[in-house]
Amino acid sequence: MKLCRSLSDKTIAGVCSGLARYLGWSANRVRIVYALLTVLSAAFPGIIVYLALWFLMPAED
């Protein structure tokens, strides 16, 4: 499966939904894990990574 942003199941840009589909996880699980990593880890620049993925990941067809 190709890594791409989801246009149908999105909250902001579809990045977490696309990652969830690629990993075979639920979108809510990826969102929770991503939010926890962003908040709890000073070494994980979550907002910058999200923005980069938003612009680098292609949208689904």
pLDDT tens readout for residues 18-49: 999 999 999 999 999 999 988 888 767 888 88
The answer to whether residues 54 and 5 touch, using CB atoms and an 8 Å cutoff, is yes
CA pseudo-torsion sign 28, 30, 31, 33: positive
Orientation of helix 27-40 relative to helix 46-56, angle to 10°: 140
* Total-model pTM: 0.83
Which two tokens mark 9?
């199941």
Confidence of residue 61 (pLDDT cuts 50, 70, 90): confident
